[in-house]
């Protein structure tokens, strides 16, 4: 019986040594993992806008540089999903609908905004604008605007929404563009206006 107790005690000590070794190995691995530096993530500059606009806000409304936020908003691309919204707006315009979102069409005719929408960031951090794609989007907006006017003329509905005055001014500006295709499409759209 004494020999059985010695064997049992020896197996217990061996098992304790194995568990102690595993415990030491796990603690060593955890210590090694905690001392490796975390990977550095480079956030795009758009994600740093809140810290630029409101670095250390003391009192909420007065501590924020609202003008800085406005200026940053003028350099940002359109909200995500702008392609879908533009497609919907041009489809409504081509059908001659009364529910055309004129703010979206006005945004489509803004060359600067379209360049910001078609910004490409290279691996070295440079931002390059796809001018041709931006211009094609402006032309698409001009074609939809001309189609809206033609549909309304065909229906004998010459009622002009108040939002079109600003769009007419934008088209007049586009008609002086140095790009021939853009200038021609703006002239064609101007020819269909109700003025």
- pTM (2 decimals)? 0.65
**Which sequence spans correspond to the domains of the chain?**
46-76, 80-191
Condensed to tens digits (0 to 9), the pLDDT of residues 31-48 reads 777 666 666 656 666 666
SS3 120: strand
Predicted confidence (pLDDT) at residue 77 exceeds the cutoff of 80:
yes
SS3 163: coil
């Amino acid at each position: 019986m004494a020999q059985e107790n010695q064997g049992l005690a020896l197996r217990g000590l061996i098992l304790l040594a194995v568990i102690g070794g595993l415990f030491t190995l796990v603690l060593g691995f955890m210590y090694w993992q905690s001392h490796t530096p975390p990977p550095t993530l480079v956030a795009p500059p758009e994600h740093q806008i809140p810290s630029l606009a409101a670095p250390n806000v003391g009192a909420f409304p007065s501590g924020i540089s609202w003008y800085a936020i406005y200026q940053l908003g003028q350099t940002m691309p359109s909200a995500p999903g702008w392609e879908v919204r533009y497609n919907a707006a041009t489809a409504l315009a081509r059908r001659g609908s009364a529910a055309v979102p004129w703010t979206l069409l006005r945004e489509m005719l803004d060359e600067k905004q379209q360049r910001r929408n078609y910004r490409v960031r290279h691996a070295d951090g440079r931002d390059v604008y796809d001018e041709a794609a931006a211009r094609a989007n402006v032309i698409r907006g001009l074609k939809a605007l001309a189609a809206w006017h033609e549909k309304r003329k065909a229906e004998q509905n010459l009622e002009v929404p108040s939002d079109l005055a600003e769009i007419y001014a934008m088209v007049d500006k586009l008609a002086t563009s140095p790009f021939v295709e853009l200038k021609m499409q703006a002239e064609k759209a101007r020819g269909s206006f109700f003025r």
